[in-house]
């Protein structure tokens, strides 16, 4: 009987998700900081257009070689379908999901200007916090405060999520890294000029080094963020994720670690997305 009840529940969740009137919009923002027009994508939950309700926002970062479309693409992240299902089931709260674009200029969206940090003549992090988040709060019905924002990402975006939450703990209530690239010195996944931006920006501020040099005041601020690390047991960068987890535990910071079967690929990251959605807002 219990199995039948679960199957019936899953059936209605699937029906609701199929009929959900969520939207994914692909938009642009003219950046004065970067001097270009930047693309981004936004998931709006079912009912957004017909209500006056305000929603929490998950900033979902793509990895190297990706764009703002990577999480949306059905061949890769398939985030609209997954998010509809997780919200319909009640496992995740209704939320807005914002997917920024941190592609580079070059082959496979890599090389020059790729990444989430300030480098010479390309101040992406400044753009993100001075222009992008304010723009989202001004144009969408967001909960424009710490408890209404979380950040997550995969690979390069996982590293970006961790560093952003370390540097700006007053902005985000939760941070989730899946297969996070946390140290540029581990390059088994890198090829060509992949690390041109990462090396310049993160070499000075790797998350582990940040913790080891943090003041008591900085540590206390980090304590106001909920942290989650998620990595595959066959992922070649798993050691850096474990190192970060150990350092966070040493400081008694609120972090969880999930090591699951998997590798550094979209199969693993699609399975991460429901976990990200559920973790983002309590």
pLDDT tens digits, 47-56: 999 999 999 9
- Point out the least confidently predicted range of 51-55, 71-75, 201-205, 265-269: 201-205
The pLDDT assigned to 14 comes to 52
The pLDDT assigned to 194 comes to 42
User: For residues 131 and 31, is the Cβ–Cβ distance under 8 A?
Assistant: yes
- The dotted CATH code for 2-280 is 3.40.50.1820
Strands 57-61 and 36-44: unpaired
The pLDDT assigned to 184 comes to 60
pTM, entire model: 0.89
Distance of CA 137 to the CA centre of its chain: 17
Judged by DSSP in three states, 226 sits in strand
Q: What is the mean pLDDT of residues 264-271?
A: 98
The pLDDT assigned to 202 comes to 46
The pLDDT assigned to 76 comes to 97
Residue bearing the bigger pLDDT, 12 or 174 = 174
Sign of CA dihedral 148, 266, 208, 128: negative
Residue-range domain boundaries for the chain: 2-280
């Amino acid at each position: 009987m219990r199995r039948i009840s679960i199957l019936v529940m899953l059936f209605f969740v699937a029906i609701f998700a199929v009929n959900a009137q969520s939207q994914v919009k692909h938009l642009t923002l003219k950046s004065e900081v970067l001097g270009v027009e930047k693309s981004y994508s936004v998931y709006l939950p079912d009912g957004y257009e017909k209500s006056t309700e305000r929603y929490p926002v998950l900033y979902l970062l793509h990895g190297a070689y990706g764009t703002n479309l990577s999480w949306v693409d059905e061949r890769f992240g398939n985030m609209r379908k997954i998010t509809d299902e997780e919200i319909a089931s009640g496992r995740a709260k209704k939320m807005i999901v914002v997917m920024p674009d941190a592609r580079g200029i070059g082959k496979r969206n890599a090389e020059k200007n790729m990444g989430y940090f300030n480098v010479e003549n390309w101040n992406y992090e400044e753009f993100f916090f001075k222009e992008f988040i304010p723009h989202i709060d001004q144009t969408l019905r967001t909960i424009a405060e710490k408890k209404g924002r979380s950040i997550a990402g995969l690979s390069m975006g996982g590293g970006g999520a961790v560093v952003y939450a370390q540097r700006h703990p007053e902005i985000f209530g939760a941070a989730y890294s899946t297969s996070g690239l946390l140290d540029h010195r581990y390059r088994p996944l890198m090829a060509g000029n992949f690390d041109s931006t990462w090396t310049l920006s993160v070499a000075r501020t790797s998350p582990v080094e940040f913790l080891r040099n943090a003041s008591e005041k900085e540590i206390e601020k980090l304590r106001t963020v909920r942290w989650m690390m998620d990595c595959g047991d066959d992922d070649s960068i798993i050691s850096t994720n474990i190192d970060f987890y150990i350092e966070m535990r040493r400081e008694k910071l609120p972090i969880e670690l999930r090591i699951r079967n998997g590798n550094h690929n979209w199969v693993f990251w699609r399975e991460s997305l429901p976990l990200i959605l559920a973790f983002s807002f309590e």
